[in-house]
Structure 1
């Protein structure tokens, strides 16, 4: 067992990045692009939202984003995936599916097969109680090579099948068909007792912080105090390097992570992170010599992944401890493996959680009933046969639904429902179903409910609040996401260089649209 001091060192190294990256095989880094089509650059700004973006532009603190909006098209409300956590959303973006098909349930979840919790990131208090080397392996290897459904093709794999190259820069999900050797940084390798190298498949050009640089001379943004390169400036310099060397592939997906941290700390209306992301975007546009040339030569997509909602300043009012709500049961602690006496495991994802019934004699309806006693809880859902039963905190109302049937929603999906539609704020008129404060609620919730094996209840919390369990991080007075609610689910999309648009304003529909753009000659 590693010493407490080693654990502290490893915690510092891993927490300094949201996810740990890798170094690609240098022999595969750069190849000339021969395709005639205009390349597409998709930049994902974590937790970018419409209102603060509009305010940043109004104050003149986001000139690059203002330029792209003025020269293109702006869609303020695109529906994210669920849970509204980056790892699940990015899996949806790359595969064009919800979690029932791509199989990435959230930032944390319980593997019934392996009898353990899976974490792709964690807070400082959690770090001292969990198996950090396993978190590293899950984040940089298992996620892309195993846990992301191998039968669900990513956009990088689809382009490789067409003989087209692509690039991933600081993205969380990047599986492709080119073999790479990931090299673990020496300090982390020693502290975690991990192998020096891991074999993976990714896009032709794979860049991930200090561990996968395309620009061999980029040093300034990869220091440990700059999160090893998991920052906006590193991402921008990598794109600029490809531009300067005329080596942009048909598609580049780049991730600007830092706005998310600013919003978590300061709340949803902060524009500091947007200003910093805009400066990084200016670096990218400047690489063309002029911004007009940038939009002449490239199709640009800039978007958010999820929104965040404000968390109240008062800790007691803001947080809901699921352990206290489920106190009658034996809850498995995160600091040890599951034991036979454990009845419940809780995987909290900020404003959403999976509550697993390990005890086969414990009905999911009993767990849901226990949770309904808390009026601050929002959506409480469980599977029963082929149907999903949805209730709410502090209420006896109930909605039952399943795919297929006489009702059609605004996305062309069909459903059978019974009970009270108001539980999910649904409106039903003449066999037409429309969504209210839970956009695309039926499909997104169905995706999470079928994302992985196990018996579990899904619970979300009302705006202003956050779910907690043992040692989970909180964002008091700041922002948080994870829920099904619109305040966590609607993100902006800027498109410049094309008049086309996806078939619907949902992240799940962007993959096929991007593939069409990559293959478009006009």
Structure 2
């Protein structure tokens, strides 16, 4: 039984570490129609860990015909920037709300809840799941993430689309909160084996599919890959087959977002340039296009938006110091074990693989001395914390510092203004004195990224790792010679956006800026 439970937990959390059918969508047999929908349906597909170089390679070698077709008939942007930390739950929260972690309140895949004095983990590893409590982590992942932790004061794309009269859907997206109530039905093996509730109420769009836990009424009598050995439907094939079923049943909503999570695992294991794994994701995009009589018809009837959630950094191998062990690096201070009360140590660490939040429990410890000790290790990239009204970032074994705050004479490409003091090389910034503009180098949108992350976890210090390295704490994974993400570097955050079926394109290419773009497409008048 324990083996099956381990398999089960791995299946559920696989989609999060990137990463019976009850539904309250429409009455049985009803058609999902909008009263005055957009001129075209919109299909947004997020492909986990889609790297610009991999997209170019797949097209050049003829291994990704769907992406090549959509690219040739649309426009490709290789500079879409993920939020920070570059973890799927943070990214999807920004995607559906249009704001950063400071405002949407999802700081990371793992973060410290100061009110409840506990580490929140949405399912990073099976080891940490058992240490922190399986029932609590499932509750956080399946219920609290969307319905409690995601800022209820911020409207989502599904809320706003509903006010426009558009119908919406979300298939296997981790973040999906919307105006309609649904029920997630937990498979018996899970709720009996873990002594947890068998159902969770949640809020979502008109149509919601999340593996075996829920699927739309129009697809409920069809067979999909959603058994335990298929990760209970939290896989690419399930996402695309449900989309195909709805298209063929004429139940496609005006706006649909779907997640293809499988390549993330392949990239972690084989590295971010693993074309064999990425070609599988393209096959599932082909499945969606094949729902129509021709691929040309598919883009005549739909706007396709394909995007990555983040990229991945290629890690070094064993014996190359790949894993930066934080516990010995912070001696003589201590970190509480996962089974203990977090405040039993001098520090509480929420590890997001290539970045971590560090909270101190002793007010006599200064972040200055912590930073000085951490930066003795050449594998650490930056440390950052709030210093009064400013954010302070340090870099280098002989540390140099940059202080900045919002508002001031310097403007970046995202129309954000800043006051800057110190060494701008800490964030690889270039300044043009004549125009008072800031240009980003290796850390796109780095000022806002750091600012928003620190504001989302008040009183913390951020640690980032240089490319090739990962931060290691109790239970954290290390994929030697594989891929990893979570960090601030463009190797973590720069991904791809492909837009086909419209000549309207986003003017700002950050994932957090796509929500107003989606809404502008939904406001196009119907041609009917």
> What is the TM-score when the length of structure 2 is the normalising length?
0.94
Q: Pick the aligned partner of 2:248 from 237, 241, 244.
A: 244
User: Does structure 1 conserve the Cα–Cα contact (< 8 Å) formed by 2:385 and 2:454?
Assistant: yes
In 2, Cα distance between the equivalents of 1:450 and 1:499?
A: 37
Map residues 46-125 of structure 1 onto 2, 5 A cutoff: 46-125=48-127
Going from structure 1 to structure 2, the CA distance change for 1:386 and 1:508 (only over 3 Å counts) comes to: same
Q: Pick the aligned partner of 1:259 from 258, 263, 286.
A: 263
Please state how far the C-alpha of 1:300 moved relative to its aligned partner. 0.5
Please state how far the C-alpha of 1:99 moved relative to its aligned partner. 0.7
Please state how far the C-alpha of 1:330 moved relative to its aligned partner. 2.2
Q: Pick the aligned partner of 2:426 from 406, 423, 428.
A: 423
In 1, Cα distance between the equivalents of 2:21 and 2:331?
A: 45
Gaps of 5+ in 1: none
Going from structure 1 to structure 2, the CA distance change for 1:65 and 1:261 (only over 3 Å counts) comes to: same
Please state how far the C-alpha of 1:36 moved relative to its aligned partner. 4.1
In 1, Cα distance between the equivalents of 2:195 and 2:209?
A: 24
In 2, Cα distance between the equivalents of 1:394 and 1:22?
A: 55
Please state how far the C-alpha of 1:31 moved relative to its aligned partner. 3.9
Going from structure 1 to structure 2, the CA distance change for 1:85 and 1:27 (only over 3 Å counts) comes to: closer
Pairwise CA RMSD? 1.7
357-366 or 386-395, which moves further after superposition? 357-366
Q: Pick the aligned partner of 2:9 from 8, 14, 38.
A: 14
Please state how far the C-alpha of 1:312 moved relative to its aligned partner. 0.4
Q: Pick the aligned partner of 1:473 from 477, 485, 488.
A: 477
Please state how far the C-alpha of 1:399 moved relative to its aligned partner. 0.3
User: Does structure 1 conserve the Cα–Cα contact (< 8 Å) formed by 2:119 and 2:342?
Assistant: no
Please state how far the C-alpha of 1:11 moved relative to its aligned partner. 3.1
| Alignment partner, residue 441 of structure 2 | 436
Structure 1 runs of 4+ aligned residues shifted over 4 Å read 19-24
The answer to whether 1:317 aligns with 2:321 is yes
Going from structure 1 to structure 2, the CA distance change for 1:459 and 1:24 (only over 3 Å counts) comes to: farther
User: Does structure 1 conserve the Cα–Cα contact (< 8 Å) formed by 2:391 and 2:403?
Assistant: yes
392-401 or 474-483, which moves further after superposition? 392-401
| Alignment partner, residue 133 of structure 1 | 135
In 2, Cα distance between the equivalents of 1:462 and 1:102?
A: 27
Please state how far the C-alpha of 1:39 moved relative to its aligned partner. 1.0
| Alignment partner, residue 392 of structure 1 | 395
The answer to whether 1:482 aligns with 2:486 is yes
The answer to whether 1:338 aligns with 2:317 is no
User: Does structure 2 conserve the Cα–Cα contact (< 8 Å) formed by 1:44 and 1:304?
Assistant: yes
Q: Deviations over 1:217-246 (max 9, x none)?
A: 443411211111111110001111111111
SS of the counterpart of 1:210?
coil
In 2, Cα distance between the equivalents of 1:285 and 1:316?
A: 44
SS of the counterpart of 1:16?
helix
SS of the counterpart of 2:67?
helix
| Alignment partner, residue 296 of structure 1 | 300
13-22 or 74-83, which moves further after superposition? 13-22
Please state how far the C-alpha of 1:19 moved relative to its aligned partner. 4.7
SS of the counterpart of 1:211?
coil
The answer to whether 1:353 aligns with 2:356 is yes
In 2, Cα distance between the equivalents of 1:306 and 1:157?
A: 25
Map residues 22-61 of structure 1 onto 2, 5 A cutoff: 23-26=21-24, 28=26, 31-34=31-34, 35-37=36-38, 38-61=40-63
How many residues of Structure 1 are paired with residues of Structure 2 in the alignment? 515
